[in-house]
Structure 1
Amino acid sequence: METLCVLMALWVAAQVGTAPATGLRPARKTLAGHKMPTGLTGQDANGVPLRRSKRGWMWNQFFLLEEYTGNDMQYVGKLHSDSDREDGSVRYVLTGDGAGTLFKIDEKSGDIHATKRLDREEKAYYVLHAKAVNRFTNEALEGESDFIIKIHDINDNEPRFTKDPYIARVPEMADIGTPVIQVTALDADDATYGNSAKVVYSILEGQPYFSVDPETGMIKTALPGMDREVKDKYQVVIQAKDMAGQMGGLSGTTTVSITLADVNDNPPRFTKTLYEFKVPESTALGSAVGVIHAVDKDIGENAELDYRIIGSDGPGMFDIVTNRSTQEGVMVLRKPLDFERKRQFSLRVQVENLHVNPRFFSMGPFRDEASIKVTVEDVDEPPVFERTSYIMEVREDTAPKTVIGTVSASDPDVKRSPVRYSIDRRTDMDRVFDVHAINGSVFLLRELDREENAWHNISVVASEFNNMHQMSRVVVYIRVLDVNDNAPTFATNYETFVCENAKANQRIQTVSATDPDEPVGGHRFFFSLAQEASGKANFSVRDNKDNTAWILTRRNSYSSLLKSVYHVPVVISDSGNPIQSSTSTLTVRVCTCDREGNMKLCNAEALTARAGLSTGALVAILLCVMILLMIVVLFAALRRQRKKEPLIISKEDVRDNVVSYNDEGGGEEDTQAFDIGTLRNPEAIEDGKQRRDIVPEAYYPPVRRPAPHSARDNNGDVRDFINQKIQDNDCDPTAPPYDSLATYAYEGSGSVAESLSSLESATTEGEQDYNYLSEWGPRFKKLADMYGADESDRDS
């Protein structure tokens, strides 16, 4: 092995023109690299001779085989300097990649050895630095020089594929040589040195279906007509071998999984040639009648099918819809079935591929056909009306029990069960109509009014006699025809005014009419003044022949003082048969106007009723009225205050005080301030009653005195009552001071009206004596004279 290494080193050295690192020292070699003149090489531009110099270090590269398997360290080469006299004074120093670890140098001899096995694939070369120094002085004897240790490659790596496994697809029925996939294997050995990295591909498994190109690794089809429906997956094993496939080379393998892609090379086929279905005649429209199915060996879009009807003895009765998820044909009912009319249907259907490959047209049509037989089953059906709805007309003056129309229904079944009719009362809750149970005639139960309901919508139910649950309904629309049974009236409630300075034949209002009837040709109204008012009429009515009329004045002036309101009766007739008429009254108020005819002053009713009066004017008038009312109330209050001032505040006598009471009432608390029973009954006892106008110093019980017998007379009872009160006031220590005025009110028991009201005093004025001033007591009379009271003030 060592001999082989030496021979290889010698060969490599010969190639690069250097001597091998064998320890031999060429002549005149220096480690320090001194340039030694060796001869002339020419002249420069100035004629100066040029000399070529070369370094004394003859080699700068060592070669070392990788993966050394010997027991001793592998010898790399030897360093030697011309300055070395071999007396031990020179020491060799090595630095750089792996110096001291991978590579060691003998300091004395300069021999270099590799301490470990080296792998070129890990590192292909190492750069190191060498120098020679004096062992004793440590001075450099030679300048530092660089050299490279290059690792020679050996075939120690097998080819490796980039993937394992490979996945590939190729269409079925592909031609020979159709590319499938390219595989690639890589060899870590040096491709520039020998054949260690030259890979050759071969197929180990997969013949005869596929082949591989030995240089490129491209896999191709090798067998024609591969059918996916027969076999759809293949496993192919590919080998990659280095050393150009020669013996002794290393190899690697990979697996390629190849799937045949589907192509549309198979036509669809029905599973049956005849399909039979049974369908009840009551099947709803749009319901599925049956399902047909065709088989296609292809998959995906190549197996997508389309079904259609190509022939039928019931056109339009059925349709076929393709279910895309299951690729089935669903037969759907499009028209109602009737067992009594047709009991069986025959159809011809076809199925074909949606996506057809023209390459396989030669294989035949990609479609198939089948027959379908549909049998209709009888079902007990409800009665069927001859029409889907009925429209009937009736005059609004039609008498009850009158037939207005007829409905008809029959049992469609073979047995023909009798039918019974009835009204769905939920649609006729007022019970206006009814239907004959046997013949279906619809008649009235009560009178109609078109102005109340112009249309009536009812439902008539038809049911079988033998099975009441079998029923059907039909809507009957009943139109009420108009009859001229309403008289026209004013279109609105007219109220107008006439100016006092109005002229004759002046228009003051335009009127129109309304009528709830609806004649065929439209309304035509006629207006005229009522006959009873034509003789003394202040206004006239002019028919404009366009369903309106004018109200005109018949004289030149009107006076609101003589008459403020006029009522104009207007007769309105229609053109119906029979003619209907009515009298409507127009209210006309007399108002004061300016020269232009604009209203200036009118009574409240006229102001409110005037259509032309604006809202602002109404507000202004109301404000004026309110201000006037406030002035009147203020004036009355001031006058009343001036009248009471001499009685309340006396400026002539400072001793005079007036005690007045003005209590509107406070409920039960007033019983302590005033006892109405005492005034009505002089014999009443005032137990525990105290005056509330002053605080008494001591409590003195009231003196009880019987009323005199003469108090029961017509006038004597008042006189005695006053005298008694004067005496009680004089004797009462809790009474007001002497200069106070005490007033008393007493209705009296002998009054005709039994009250002080003057409503009936007018009739008994001659029988009553109001002259009570002469009967007053001395003290009371003195107070009356002090304030100037006389008979005219007796009522106060």
Structure 2
Amino acid sequence: MERDGEILHRAKREWMWRQFFLLEEYTGSDYQYVGKLRSDKDRGDGTARYVLSGEGAGTVFRIDEKSGDLHATQRLDREEKSSYSLQAQAFNRNTGLPLEPATEFVIKIHDINDNAPQFTKAVYTASVPEMSPVGTFVLEVNATDADDATYGNSAKLVYSILQGQPYFSVEPETGIVRIALPNMDRELRRDYQVVIQAKDMAGQMGGLSGTTVVNITLTDVNDSPPRFSYSSYHLSTYESAEIGSTVGRIKANDSDEGDNAEMRYRIVDGDGKDMFDIITDEMTQEGVIIVKKKLDYESKRVYTVKVEVANVHLDPSFTNMGPFTDTAIVRVTAKDVDEPPVFSRNPYVIEVNEDTPKGSLIGTVTAWDPDNTDYPIQYSIDQHTDLDRLFYIDPRNGSIRTLKSLDREVSKWHNISVLASEINNPRQRSRVPVLIKVLDVNDNAPEFAMFYETFVCENVKAGQLIQTISAIDTDEPLIGHKFVFSLSSANPNFTIFDNEDNTARILTRRSGFNRHEMSVYHLPVVISDNDYPIQSSTSTLTIRVCGCDSGGNMRSCSVDALLLSAGLSTGALVAILLCITILLMIVVMFSALKKQRRKDSLILSKEDIRDNIVSYNDEGGGEEDTQAFDIGTLRHPEVIETNKLRRDIIPEMLFPFCRSSPMKECSDVRDFINSKLQENDTDPSAPPYDSLATYAYEGNGSIAESLSSLESSTMEGDHEYDYLTNWGPHFKKLADMYIGKDTTVDI
């Protein structure tokens, strides 16, 4: 077919349907007919076969293969599934080939009103302030309907109130609950229960409905003022009541609750407002009347106060209802008690000079009986506060005197307690502290602030500072300490310079000191204060003479000074050193003899055996150090060179050196040792105190030559020589000579 020169083709019409509708909740006995499916290529000869697929195909929906009729096999619920999407296709029954492509269609379930409205909550809870105006919002309820809101009125809801009128109302379309009655008072009724209904079909007959319960509570507002139960109250208390103690309680009533019922009490008038006060008990909301000042039954017995109560939190909306306060009169009666004595002051402070003679009057305390009886008073000192018994009080008039002299440097304050009691009733007594301050008197002289270890170098120059001294004084002058330093007499060696700041400098007056001539100088220093009366003292400064380097650093001091500073006498030190020397000699000889038995002799010549072994505790300064120790001491006595003075120390006295000639023959070893000891005792160049000198003289030789074990090492076996047994008596006798007859020496 052509039109205007164009070739037109016939278009396929495909299916003749797209959508079916089906009612839910079908109750018939047969399958519910949905519709008929038909292809335009179905010639009606039975060769076309229809096939259904998709949601619910073969279960919920079934199709007749020959006719294409579609039925629902089950009862459908739109609220479970509102539509189904399916596919349909026609095939040639003989060839099995599709007559045309498959296409989709939709089956929609039409809604019926089969669901009642449901509220979101089974029970609602709400609150609204009391005395709220009509129309005040309370809450909004909400219900839903499972039916289709777009089809008919099945889901169109209308709200109504079934219970709760005339207090509340509900808006039909929104479900908003509001106040419907004015001036609802919580104090009359607090809780309300309201039943709300929601109905579908727009509230028409035949519609379904649901209900919910709303519990509404009226909240409190401060619309009730506090009120006293009585216009006047009567209380009483003893005159001895302590300040701050409770007299009694009163209470006002407030029908409000919480913060709205919180009250405050205060005294606004009355002749007792200076004697009493009132506070509020936060827990019980009671007014507690307390004692503000001490009561006196003898002066006044009845007091009157006017108490006012008011709310703390006020609501401006209700101030037009009248004052939210109330007042009441409270009368308080003071009851008489037997009171203890009263002191005129508390505490007493008494000042006394430390040089006040004992027995002097230093002060007086006074007390009286406040009762009408006015009994006489007697005084005493609590002995627990005056353990040293320094003070005495007259029991009749309360005058206090000293029993002993006072010393401010021992104690600046004395705190005692004085007791006052009624003579007719000693149980009624009072105590008062008496603070006695001891005033300073200049009765102590200044002295050195510390112990000074002062030295002066031998190479010192004149005018050189060797020590700065200061002083202390246990007194406490009003304007501070001011010390003056001076020498007790003119001194040719040292002088003193007062710095005028409570310190002084010790200077040398000459150059050069010799510790061998004078090792220690004693310098008396006079120290005076500036208080009245002036006190002064003389303190001695000990100055040692020491050897120093060019920088003034101390190197060594006088041996005597060091020994004296240690607190030991020279004889005691010599005895101790001699004992140590003898013990070391025994140990060294025993060790040498043990080695002599086990080792070959290293001495090649019998003529080189030494009779003197000197040991120095000095490592020296190397090969170039020729001053540390003299090798000549180790040489054989016969080849001793001319004596040389020791070069490692400076002898305190220069004696001509004299060494006795070696013994050619010695038949008695004891004489030999005594000779050697005497020789070393008189030798000014003796080794230092930490050295050991031993003597093992064997003589100058014999025809049989040496019998020492040093040349017997070639013989088989060790030879036991009990040297200590043979030498022991000599050493013991030697120890008795230098240590004492009563000293035991184990050899």
Match of 2:26 among 57, 68, 72: 68
**In terms of mean alpha carbon deviation, does 407-416 or 222-231 score higher?**
407-416
Aligned to 1:177: 135
1:116–1:419 CA distance, 2 compared to 1 (3 A): same
d(CA) in 2 for partners of 1:65, 1:743 = 142
Q: Are 2:111 and 1:153 aligned?
A: yes
> Per the alignment, in what secondary structure is the counterpart of residue 257 of structure 1?
strand
The residue matched to 1:117 in structure 2 has which SS? Answer: coil
Query: Separation in 1 of the partners of 2:155 and 2:72?
Result: 26
Q: Verify: 1:306 aligned to 2:360, yes or no.
A: no
1:171 is aligned with what amino acid? P
- TM-score, normalising length from structure 2? 0.67
1:272 to 201, 222, 230: 230
CA contact (8 A) 1:154 1:189 kept: yes
Of the candidates 64, 87, 93, which is equivalent to residue 129 of structure 1?
Answer: 87
Q: Does 1:100 align with 2:79?
A: no
Matched residues in 2 for 1:110 and 1:158: separation? 38
| Secondary structure of the structure 2 residue equivalent to 1:632 | coil
In the other structure, the counterpart of 1:633 is 687
Partner of 2:704: 654
Indicate whether 1:408 and 2:366 are aligned: yes
Give the fraction of aligned pairs with identical amino acids, expressed as a percent: 57
Cα pair 2:495 2:508 within 8 Å, conserved: no
**Distance (Å, rounded) in 2 between the aligned partners of 1:87 and 1:562:** 162
Equivalent residue letter for 2:29: N
1:303 is displaced (CA, Å) by 2.0
Shift of 1:349: 2.1
Distance 1:249 1:557 in 2: 135
Between the aligned partners of 1:124 and 1:550, the Cα distance in structure 2 is 117
> Quick one: structure 1 residues 655 and 84, their matched pair in 2 at CA, closer, same or farther if it must change by over 3 Å?
closer
Cα deviations by residue, 1:596-639 (Å, 9 ceiling, x for unpaired): 999999966779999xxxxxxxxxxxxx9995699613799999
- Asked if 1:118 corresponds to 2:168, the answer is no
Residue by residue over 1:430-475, the C-alpha shift from the partner in whole angstroms, topping out at 9 and shown as x without a partner, is 1111112222111222333444444322221222334444332222
Classify 1:426/1:90 alpha carbon distance in 2 versus 1 (closer, same or farther; 3 Å).
same
Q: Is the 8 A contact 1:649 1:657 kept in 2?
A: no
* 1:405 match: secondary structure: strand
Which of 204, 207, 214 is matched with 1:256 structurally?
Answer: 214
Contact 2:227-2:252 at 8 Å conserved across structures = yes
Offset, 1:78: 2.8
Structure 1 distance, partners of 2:101, 2:339, is 123
2:219 pairs with 1:165: no
Give the superposition deviation at 1:580: 7.0
Query: Which deviates the most, 142-151 or 538-547?
Result: 538-547
Asked if 2 retains the 8 angstrom alpha-carbon contact of 1:496 and 1:609, the reply is no
Return closer, same or farther for 1:588/1:129 CA change in 2, 3 Å cut-off: closer
Distance in 1 of aligned mates of 2:129 and 2:694 = 126
**Residue of 363, 369, 382 corresponding to 2:340:** 382
Do the aligned partners of residues 509 and 98 (structure 1) sit closer, same or farther apart at CA in structure 2, a change above 3 Å counting?
closer
Equivalent residues in 2 for 1:411-490, closer than 5 Å: 411-481=369-439
**Partner SS, residue 687 of structure 2:** helix
Aligned to 2:327: 369
Tell me how far apart the structure 1 counterparts of residues 44 and 691 of structure 2 sit (CA, whole Å). 158
1:98-119 deviations in whole A, cap 9, x for unaligned? 2222222333333332222222
Name the structure 2 match of 1:22. none
Say whether the 8 Å CA contact 1:428–1:458 is kept in structure 2: yes
Residues 573 and 170 of structure 1, relative CA distance in 2, 3 Å threshold: closer
Amino acid at match of 2:377: V
Distance 1:495 1:461 in 2: 55
Q: 1:627 to 1:414 in 2, by over 3 A?
A: farther
Which amino acid in structure 2 is aligned with residue 632 of structure 1?
A
Match of 2:663 in 1: none
Based on CA coordinates, which of the two structures has the bigger radius of gyration? 1
TM-score, normalised with respect to structure 1: 0.63
Q: Select 1:189's aligned residue among 141, 147, 156.
A: 147
- Separation in structure 1 between the aligned mates of residue 519 and residue 96 of structure 2, nearest angstrom: 153
Q: Distance in 2 between matches of 1:67 and 1:181?
A: 37
Does the CA-based 8 Å contact 1:157-1:188 persist in structure 2? Answer: yes
Aligned length: 610
After TM superposition, give the deviation of residue 388 of structure 1 in Å.
0.8
User: Structure 2: how far apart are the matches of 1:560 and 1:156?
Assistant: 133
User: Contact 1:495 / 1:609 at 8 angstroms: preserved in 2?
Assistant: no
Q: How far off is 1:397 after superposition? A: 4.5
Given that 1:649 and 1:658 are in contact with CA atoms closer than 8 Å, whether structure 2 keeps it comes out as no
2:294 equivalent to 1:350: no
Deviation at 1:61, TM superposition (A): 2.6
Report the Cα distance in structure 2 between the residues aligned to 1:88 and 1:363, rounded to whole angstroms.
97
Aligned partners of 1:180, 1:744: CA distance in 2, in Å?
127
Residue 239 of structure 2 is matched in structure 1 by 281
Whether the 8 Å CA contact 1:497–1:606 is kept in 2: the answer is: no
The unaligned stretches of length 5 or more in structure 1 are 1-36, 611-623, 660-691, 696-740, 746-754, 758-796
After superposition, the CA RMSD in angstroms is: 5.1
Taking structure 1 as reference, are residues 744 and 559 closer, same or farther at Cα in structure 2, changes over 3 Å only?
closer
Determine if contact 2:16/2:39 at 8 Å carries over to the other structure.
no
Q: Which residue of 2 aligns with 1:785?
A: none
Code of the aligned partner of 2:184: M
Match of 2:298, SS? coil
Q: How big is the shift at 1:54?
A: 6.2
Provide the C-alpha distance between the structure 2 equivalents of 1:164 and 1:273, rounded to a whole number of angstroms.
Answer: 52
Contact 2:519 2:561 in 1 (8 A): no
Q: How big is each residue's C-alpha offset from its partner over 1:644-689, in whole Å with a ceiling of 9 and x where there is no partner?
A: 63xx144342257599xxxxxxxxxxxxxxxxxxxxxxxxxxxxxx
Is the 8 Å Cα contact of residues 421 and 461 (structure 1) preserved in structure 2?
A: yes
Q: List alignment gaps of at least 5 residues for structure 2.
A: 566-645, 652-683, 710-719, 731-735, 739-747
Structure 2 Cα separation of the partners of residues 198 and 103 of structure 1: 31
CA shift in 2, pair 1:625/1:589, >3 Å = farther
Is 1:211 the counterpart of 2:169? The answer is yes
Counterpart CA distance in 1 for 2:468 and 2:66 is 148
Tell me the SS of whatever aligns to 1:361: helix
